[in-house]
Every structure is written in C-alpha cells, then in structure tokens.
Chains A and B, each alone.
Chain A
Amino acid sequence: MNPAGFFEQVRRAWAIAKKDIRIYYFKGPVLIFGVFMPVFLFLAFFMGSRQLPLSFLISGLVGMTLFFTATAVSPAIFPWEGSAKTLERLASCPITIEAIVLGDMIASILFGIGITVVTVIIGLLLGLSLLHGITLLAAIFLAACCFSAIGMLLAVPPTNVPSNIMMLSSLIKFPLVFISGIFIPLEQMPAWGLALSVCSPLTYFTDLVRYAFTDAHYFPVMIDIAALAVFTVVFTVGTMYLHKRTMPRRM
C-alpha cells in the first residue's frame, strides 16, 4: 500500500465523505431544509407566475434543488471543523488536503443527488413525462459535482466562524438563481441578463433538465454538457488549490 497513491487517497476521501454524511447531512433540519426550501420557492413562483407552464417551473425546481442542496452544508464544514479542532486532527492524518476536499465534495454530491431525485419524482407525480432520462441522470451527476465544488469554493476564506461563510454563501447563491433561467426563461431575458446567465453553471443544468422534460432547450445539449464539465473541472481544481493555500491559516 502506498499511502500517498491516488487510489489510496480516494479511499481515504471516501472515509471523509462517510463521516460528513453521518455528522452533517443525516440531521433532521438539514434534510428538511434540503426538501422544503426549494419546494417553497417553487410554490411562491407557481402561485405568482401562473402564466408559466408547470414543466418550466418543475425544471427550475429541479435546478434549484440540486444547486441549494449541493451547496447547503459543504461551505460550513471547514469552519465548523476548524473551530472544533477536528480539522487539526485531519491535518495530522496521512491524507492530502485535496483528498479532504474531495471527501467533502462526495458527501455533498450524494446529498444533492438524493434530494434532487425526490424532486424529479414529484415532477413525475405531477404529470410530467421524462423524455431524456439518461441525459437527465448525466446532467444531475455532472451538475452535482460542479455545485459541490462551488460549495467548497465558498469555504475557501480561512474563517472558523460558520455564519460568516453562510452569509457569503447566500450573497452568491441567491443572485445566481435569478440569472440562470429558472424563473425567467432565457428567451425572455434582456441581452445583459443573457450575458450574465452564460457565466452561471446553473443555467446549463436548468437548460438540460428542461430538455429532459420538454425536449426544449436554449443551448445545444452538447454545449450545456461541455459547459458544465468545464465549470466542474475549473471549480474543482480551483477549490483544491485554494484550500491548500488557506488551510494552514485555519489552524
């Protein structure tokens, strides 16, 4: 066994993910937040925008659910563990910072996918038909990776005060929802809105979900997938690099 080898580090990252799921995700309030928050946002828009078709809103709901759940807990894990000194324990273990970040991402990916599947089932129960199931599965997986990397990016500032990170997280997450074609179709957006929306990975995921449910899409499917893949790689590499730099300042 080479403790520093790639596969051994991935194995240890899985241990981190299991620990996260046990400690941070399998909590009533977290699960309830994951399900209820997107549902209530959806209901608010459903009541207020009756002219928008259900299929459009459900696609947006799926997009929001994955985005909010995959980024809900991960930004706060490092600050929590920093203040509880458990991060110091991890830092003295034979696991790289990249593997710790990967472990946190895996937990957030699994949580995001789990809750999003519930939302997809709600959509199906409401009468929507799934036209491109494989595309939807691929999109959910890819977007979960991308959003969990965003969640970890939000945790980069080396503070051990979770509320500071959650405030920053809300400041970034909520505007993204409004520029990503969830409540306003991309076709109806002004030019400046569209220019902003192409910078958000949520735009491409929502477009793919819409394609999966309605066959309609704004960008070509391959462009959506490629964009999500590029965002995922850039955010993952970026978050690992930045955490490696800021980790010593948390200790």
Chain B
Amino acid sequence: MTAVIHASNLTKVFGNSTAVDHISFDVRQGEIFGFLGPNGAGKTTTTRMLTGVIPLDAGTATILGHDIHSEPVLAKQGFGVVPETSNAYTDLTAWQNLMLMGELYGLERTRAEHRSSELLGMVGLLERKDQKVQEYSKGMKQRLILAMALIHEPELLFLDEPTSGLDVQSTQMILSLLRDLNRQGTTIFLTTHNMEEANRLCHRVGIIRGGKMVAIDAPEKLKTAIDRVHKIEVSFDREVSGDALAGLTGVTGANRTGDKWQITTQNKDATIRSLVTFGQQNGAAIVTLNTLAPSLDEAFLRLTQEDKP
C-alpha cells in the first residue's frame, strides 16, 4: 500500500531538550492512523513538523510524495489540518472563513461557494453561516474548523485532539464524519488522548514516549502484544475438574471465578483448541468462551511507562 506520510528520522530540538528524537514511520493510503502519547511526548511537535508549521531539525518528511521542507506548498495543497486549538478568524463569519480557505487553497469562487454550502450543511452550521465565529460555542467552532480543513477535498487530514473538551453531540458528529471521510478514501492522521476513540476509529496506532516511537501496530495486536500471558474465560454446562483444565496443552493455570474458569496461557490458539477438545471428550458443552485482552488504555500505559525511573 502506498505511504501518504513517510517520516524518516524526524527530529526536533528545543534548547537542550529533544522533543522528537529520530522517529520514523509510514502512514498508508486510506487508513486512520492514531498517534498516541502522554502529555509532552512530542505528538503535537511531530504533527506541526509534518504539516510544515515548524521546520525539522533533522530527518525528512514526505507528504503525498512531496518533501515538506523542499516542496512545502505542494505538500500542503494535498492535506487539511484540524489543530487542537480552534483557529478560525473570530471576527469573520463562518462563510467568510470558508471562502478565505477556498482562496488560500486556490479554489475557483463558484467551487468554493458550492463546497462551503455543502460543508456547512454537513457540520450543521448552514443556518448560522453569516454569524461571526466569536458567537459560536466550542463545539461549533471545532465543526467549522473541520469544514475549513475539508474545503479543498484533501486526500489526507491531520487532526490534533479534534474532540478534546467537546460535548457528546459534537464529538459524535465529528467521529461519524471522520468515519465517512475515511470510507470515501481520505487518509486520517489522528492525534488523540482518547484511547476509546483511537480503539474504535484507527486501523493502526503509533505510540510516542519521550520523543521516541515505542510501538506501531493495529490496536488489537498492540493490546495483545503487551501481555505475553493471556487470559481466557470459559464456562461449561456441567462441572469440570480444575486440575484437568490446568493440565491441558498450553494452559499455565486455571482459577474458578463464579460459574466460569479463568484460564491463563501463553498460547491462546493452542489453549482454545484444547478447551474445545476437552469439552467434546468429557461431554461438557462450552457455554461461553471469551479472550480477555488488555484494553488499549492498559497497552498505552504499559508502553508509555516502561523503563520509567
């Protein structure tokens, strides 16, 4: 799959502190890539480097085939940005903000007008298009910012904490729009603190800690990869022996919790197969079987706290 973002040895130094330390990663075409990390890990600095807001101190970043340092205008023409802090012009109306963006992206006036109407309708602001942005709520501002980032139908969208501090209605609207955009082919680079959001939206996530990339993978793989010992919860329609369960291939322990057994194993696949065979051989039907993977929250905490003094 083509990489729409190719970051190689991306580095940013502020004074004596290395905010981003030689990180490399690719974001593939058509995916939603979540960029996670604790406060001060270097997420926003990385996003700002990738979007050409601040220069790189070392490394290269290629966005949609254009080097952000040597061809910034061509690279920026292909993406839209939704920054963390709302940055529409509050003295202008929503319509004027969108028309300004249209002009800055080189859209013809008629196309800019058509897109502006379409986008304002999509984010539920069409009826308030002639109202100054200073009268908007935070959620409305954020929806407008999203519309501004989409005026030129970008192939790639950068979002930095797009739902931070928003009400449920605005959050749901934005997440639903992101899913729709992704279905239509837009690649999304999403910086977020919200693990649930990343878990539900992202095809892959990258976790940054202390300016270094500590993991990149699909959320499910990341969750399972952090625990070498997995847990499986199983219940049968009749009593079975704990010792028998503990003796199955791959099983390292079996503890009873209510009417279920919690099995610990280092090999989930082999254990599930053993459990099915065990049930068949002992005439015990499996009532429930759940693999208990750690949450992305746990994975995140584990990956971002490892080796901490």
Q: Is the beta-carbon distance between A84 and B55 smaller than 8 angstroms?
A: no
Given A4-B71, A88-B53 in contact, is the A94-B89 Cβ separation under 8 Å? no
Main secondary structure of the interface of B (DSSP, over half): loop
At the interface, yes or no: A86 with Cβ under 8 Å from chain B?
A: yes
Q: Which residue of B lies closest to A4 (CB)?
A: B73
Name which of B101-109, B179-187, B246-254 contacts chain A: B101-109
Bound together, the chains give a CA A89 to CA B85 distance in angstroms of: 10
Task: Determine the distance from Cα of A18 to Cα of B101 in the docked complex, in whole angstroms.
Answer: 12
- B162 located at the interface, meaning its Cβ lies under 8 Å from any Cβ of chain A in the complex: no
B76-110 to A contact mask, C-beta < 8 Å, 1/0: 11000101011111111000100011011110000
B271 at the interface (CB under 8 A from A): no
Residues of B within 8 Å of A18, CB to CB, are: 100, 103
Shortest CB-to-CB span from A23 to chain B, Å, is 5
Q: Is the CB of A248 within 8 A of B73?
A: no
Pick from B83, B90, B105: contact of A94, CB under 8 Å = B105
Whether a CB of chain A sits under 8 angstroms from the CB of B30 is no
1/0 per position for A84-118, CB-CB distance to B under 8 A? 11101111111110000000000000000000000
Given contacts A19-B89, A85-B83, A95-B73, whether A251 and B106 have CB atoms under 8 Å apart is no
Q: How far is the CA of A18 from the CA of B96 in the complex (A)?
A: 11
**Residues on B with beta carbons closer than 8 Å to the beta carbon of A22:** 91-92, 96
Contact of A12 with B103 at beta-carbon distance under 8 Å, contacts A19-B92, A88-B83, A93-B76 already known: yes
- Which residues in window 48-92 of B have CB below 8 A to A? 48, 51-55, 71-74, 76-77, 81, 83, 85-92
A19→B100 contact, CB < 8 A: yes
Determine whether the beta carbon of A94 is less than 8 Å from that of B77. yes
Distance, CA A19 to CA B190, complexed state (A): 29
CA distance A90 to B106 in the complex (A): 14
Is A15 a contact partner of B74 (Cβ separation < 8 A)? Answer: no
Contact B90 A92 (CB under 8 A): no
Known A-B contacts A15-B100, A93-B101; the reply to A84 vs B87 at CB < 8 A is: yes
- Asked if A23 and B89 make an inter-chain contact with CB atoms under 8 angstroms apart, the answer reads yes
Q: Is the CB of A92 within 8 A of B106?
A: no
In whole Å, how far is A207's beta carbon from the nearest beta carbon of chain B? 39
Complex Cα distance A95/B83, Å?
A: 17
Contact A91 B52 (CB under 8 A): yes
Instruction: Give the residues in chain A near B72, CB-CB below 8 Å.
Output: 94, 96
Give me the interface of B with A, judged by CB distance under 8 Å. Answer: 48, 51-55, 71-74, 76-77, 81, 83, 85-92, 96, 100-101, 103-106, 148
Closest 6 CB pairs of A and B: A15-B103, A4-B73, A94-B76, A85-B87, A94-B77, A92-B81
A-B contact pairs, 22 of them (CB 8 A): A3-B77, A9-B73, A15-B100, A15-B104, A18-B103, A84-B87, A84-B90, A85-B83, A85-B86, A86-B87, A88-B53, A89-B81, A89-B87, A89-B148, A90-B104, A91-B52, A94-B74, A94-B77, A95-B104, A248-B53, A248-B54, A248-B55
A interface with B by C-beta (< 8 Å): 1, 3-4, 8-9, 11-12, 14-16, 18-19, 22-23, 84-86, 88-96, 248, 251
